[in-house]
A and B are shown apart, each in its own frame.
Chain A
Amino acid sequence: MCAQHLLCVTGIACAWLLAQANAWAFGSGVRVWLPESITTTAPAIDRLFYTVLAITSVVFVLVQATLLIFLIRYRHRPGHRAAYTHGNNLIEIIWTVIPAGILVFLAMYSQRVWSQVRGTPPPPDLEVEITAEQFAWNIRYAGPDGQFNTTDDITTINQLHLPVHQTVLIDLKSKDVIHSFFVPQFRMKQDTVPGLTGHMWISATKTGNFEIACAELCGLGHYRMRGALTIESPEAFQAWLIKTRKEQES
Chain B
Amino acid sequence: MSAHPEVLPQQQMRRVVGTQLLLLSCFLLSLAGLLVPEHLKAIVGLSAALVLVVGLWRRSYLFSTDHKVIGVQFLVTSLVMLLIGGLLAMLIRLQLGWPTHYTDEAGLAHRTFLTVQKLLPGGFSSGIMDSGFYNMLFTMHGSIMIFFAIIPLLVGVFGNYLIPLKIGAGDMAFPRLNMYSYWLLPPAILIVCAGFFMQSGAAASGWTAYAPLSTTLGPGQVCWIVGIIVLGASSIMGAVNYVTTIINLRTNGMQFFRLPMSIWALFITAIIVLMATPVLAAALILLLCDTTLHTSFFLPAGLIIDGVLQHNSGGQVLLWQHLFWFYSHPAVYIMILPAMGITSEILPVFARKPLFGYHSMVYAIMAIAVLGFLVWAHHMFVSGMNPTLGTSFMVSTMVIAVPSAIKTFNWLGTLWRGSIRLTTPMLHALAFVSMFVIGGLTGIFAAASPVDLYIHDTYFIVGHLHYVLFGGSLFGIFAGITFWFPKMFGRMLNETLGKWHFALTVLFFNCVMFPMFILGIAGMPRRIYDYTGYAHLAHVGPLNRMMSVSAFCLGIAQLLFIINFFWSLFRGKLAGDNPWQANTLEWTTASPPPHGNFVKPLTVYHGPYEYSVPGRTDDWLPQHVKA
Contacts and interface: CB of A to CB of B under 8 A. Distances in A.
B383 to A, nearest CB: 5
B622 to A, nearest CB: 16
B357 A92 contact: yes
B226 interface: no
B200 interface: no
Contacts of B454: 45, 49, 184, 187-189
A193 interface: yes
A115 B522 CA distance: 25
Given A45-B453, A60-B438, A215-B456, A195 B531 contact: no
B303 A175 contact: yes
A240 interface: no
B384 A222 contact: no
A173 to B, nearest CB: 10
A80 B442 CA distance: 38
Contacts of A214: 525
Nearest to B523: A184
Interface in B500-535: 500, 503, 506-507, 510-511, 514-515, 518-519, 521-523, 525, 527-531, 533-535
Contacts of A4: 422
B573 interface: no
Interface in A143-198: 175-178, 180, 182, 184-185, 187-196, 198
Given A48-B450, A194-B317, A217-B213, A67 B434 contact: yes
B383 A27 contact: no
Contacts of B540: 32
Nearest to A112: B450
A48 B448 contact: yes
B539 A28 contact: yes
A188 B453 CA distance: 5
A192 B213 CA distance: 13
Contacts of B444: 52, 55-56, 103, 106
Contacts of A49: 445, 448, 451, 454
Contacts of A34: 521-523
> Which of B438, B454, B507 has the most chain A CB within a 10 Å cutoff?
B454
A250 interface: no
Q: Interface size for chain A: under 10, 10 to 19, 20 to 34, or 35 or more residues? A: 35 or more
B496 A1 contact: yes
A127 B619 CA distance: 74
B413 interface: yes
Interface string A67-95: 10011001111001111111110011001
A108 B300 CA distance: 36
Contact of B356 (A13, A80, A87, A177): A87
A11 to B, nearest CB: 10
Interface string B419-441: 11111000100100110011001
Interface in A92-117: 92, 95-96, 99-100, 103-104, 106-107, 109-111, 113-115, 117
A244 to B, nearest CB: 23
A211 B415 contact: no
29 contacts: A17-B507, A18-B510, A25-B515, A25-B543, A32-B539, A32-B543, A35-B522, A35-B536, A67-B415, A76-B419, A76-B421, A81-B352, A82-B353, A83-B416, A92-B406, A103-B402, A106-B444, A111-B391, A114-B449, A117-B450, A119-B387, A175-B304, A182-B525, A184-B536, A187-B454, A193-B317, A194-B212, A195-B315, A223-B533
Question: Shortest 7 CB-CB distances between A and B: which pairs?
Answer: A195-B300, A184-B523, A3-B422, A87-B357, A83-B417, A82-B353, A118-B387
Given A6-B500, A92-B360, A96-B405, 15 more contacts: A21-B543, A33-B518, A70-B412, A75-B419, A81-B619, A86-B358, A106-B444, A110-B449, A118-B453, A177-B305, A193-B317, A194-B300, A211-B535, A217-B210, A219-B135
